[in-house]
Amino acid sequence: MPPNDRPPASILAQALRLDSASGLAIPSQRAIATEIPVSVIYGDAPYAVMMASPGDSEDFAYGFSLTEGLIRAASEIRSVKVGPQAKGLALEIELAPGRFREHLARRRSIAGRTSCGLCGVETVDQLPQAEKLNRAPPIAARAIFSALANLDRNQKLNALTHAVHAAAFCSREGAIRAVREDVGRHNALDKLIGALIREGVSPREGFILVTSRASFEMVEKTAIFGATTLVAISAPTSLAIERAEALGLTLAAIARSDSLMVFSGALDANDGAGPEVAAS
């Protein structure tokens, strides 16, 4: 399906804008983020239906496959076919033969599957498990503040709709190298990871910045990719902190242009010239 034939990222919706001063109801239009069902299919077997934004579908196929534990590298996907289906899109993913056999042997229920990334898993033991990360030099706090200052201008869809999350990969110096947006925070991160593994970007070259809260799943996906630092604009959950500590992941959150909090791991407060700032 050619990209130009796919659903648009946003639509213009008709609405009435109520003015409190005059009491008038004024006909208006508003750009609204498109949300569609995206069916993920391996071989001929449906795996999940995710509610997502229609853009960057190929990146989503790769990132989702990695963070779900179905592949370990981009080369284990032979092809991705994006096609229309009722009210949405279908991602038909062909895995390398060995990986596909492992997938078929993996006992998993897909009933009630949603974009949470965990629904339908029958036991906790079936969750994708990241391996403990090798220690990396801490990211400079200055680099994170630089990335935060430039994030808004890189969120094109959110600037239009004010309704989508973003996940960004930033260099160790704070330059934003890639951004993906989606109505689902997990989807945005999967799309970003997919784009990075398709390009062969090393996860140790920078850090991940997300506009959402830092949940268990966001920590797990970051670590499965191999990045050692996750920065979230909103707060973390207790399980996210616990998992970050277990994995050796630096987790910073409640990140603003002038402050942030380090909940796990450490940041370099002075670009290598001074002590690290570590979570207590």
Query: What residues are annotated to the active site?
Result: 116
What would the 3-class secondary structure string for the chain be? CCHHHCCCCEEEEEEEEECCCCCCEEEEEEEEECCEEEEEEECCEEEEEEEECCCCHHHHHHHHHHHCCCCCCHHHEEEEEEEEECCEEEEEEEECHHHHHHHHHCCCCCCCCCCCCCCCCCCHHHCCCCCCCCCCCCCEHHHHHHHHHHHHHHCHHHHHHCCCEEEEEEECCCCEEEEEEECCHHHHHHHHHHHHHHHCCCHHHEEEEECCCECHHHHHHHHHHCCCEEEECCCECHHHHHHHHHHCCEEEECCCCCCCEEEECEEECCCCCCCEEECC
